[in-house]
Structure 1
Amino acid sequence: MDTTHSQMNILLCDDDADDRLFFKEAMTELKVQNDLKVFENGSELMDYLHHPDTLLPHILFLDINMPCKSGLECLKEIREHAKFKNLVIAIYSTSNSEEDIEETFTNGANIFIKKPSDFSLLKKAIHHVLNINWQYHTDGLNKETFFLSL
């Protein structure tokens, strides 16, 4: 997707206030034209996505471990609905357990990003994800391309 000429609609769902702040700062520094909507838990996210007036995002960054409704529960619910079949979902988590990676992969996430502890790596990860040709990436999706390694 050409991020220099068109505005991207991006959703971030993460219960950690610091992680939300760093993500917003990274987006600002990357100078990507975007409409970033942020949610603190999975219930808020799903209410938003199911609202009839919601414009579907280009990409959803989804934390796994959240209160109210986990990222995995959201992922499963999203993939149950045909209207979300083309929604790109980037799992964005502090976890890098094989079980979490496997479960999100088999439930239809498009990529798994372990939250970087370094701000420059965070910017690099976001930039990488926003510039992926998702149709090509998804068509050739396998475990090796699923886990983003920086």
Structure 2
Amino acid sequence: MSIKSGKSIFLADDDADDCMLFEDALREVSESVELTTAYDGVELINLMKTNVPPPPDVIFLDLNMPRKNGFECLEYIRKTSQWKDIPIVVFSTTGQEDMVKKVYEQGANYFIRKPGSFPKLKQAIRQILDIDWTSHSWKPASDNLLYHF
């Protein structure tokens, strides 16, 4: 599989170690993808206001963040006309079915439970980057809402 060069990703996660691990995995998957990191929801929205357009190809969004959590960010992004079509992957440690259903109801395109190993994290990133979001608003089957790696 080949990742299209020139892609841009926004990552919103308040855990600095998770951000560093994500960046390391991303660099091993593709050195040409640009990563912009926000450490909470308020910072993500401020980055969106100053950096979009052009929109990122995908936003990886943690749910549990200070100041503005992932649910609040998701709702805000989906209600903002110039951002509403940006693919959003909720990337969280939670696996509670009600939380997963809620993020899909709010407009998330995909939900991934944070993988427990570096190879699985690389696999998750590669799979998301390989989705052609322009051809469809891809979502998993309703019986497989939570993606485990």
TM > 0.5 fold call: yes
Identity between Structure 1 and Structure 2 (%)? 34
* Runs (5+) with no aligned partner, structure 1: none
Letter in 1 for 2:54: L
Task: Count residues in correspondence.
Answer: 149
For residue 143 of structure 1, what is the aligned residue in structure 2?
Answer: 142
For residue 67 of structure 2, what is the aligned residue in structure 1?
Answer: 68
For residue 24 of structure 1, what is the aligned residue in structure 2?
Answer: 23
1:108 aligns with 2:102: no
Q: CA deviation at 1:33?
A: 1.3
Change in CA separation of 1:111 and 1:83 when aligned onto 2, cut-off 3 Å: same
Q: Mapping of 1:31-42 within 5 angstroms?
A: 31-42=30-41
1:80 aligns with 2:79: yes
TM-score, normalised by the number of residues in structure 2: 0.90
* Matches of 2:24 and 2:144, distance apart in 1: 27
TM-score, normalised by the number of residues in structure 1: 0.90
Task: Compute the RMSD of aligned alpha carbons.
Answer: 2.0
Change in CA separation of 1:53 and 1:105 when aligned onto 2, cut-off 3 Å: closer
Letter in 1 for 2:129: L
* Runs (5+) with no aligned partner, structure 2: none
Change in CA separation of 1:142 and 1:41 when aligned onto 2, cut-off 3 Å: same
> Is the 1:3–1:32 Cα contact (8 Å) retained in structure 2?
no
Runs of 4+ in 1 over 3 A off after TM superposition: 2-5, 139-142
Letter in 1 for 2:25: A
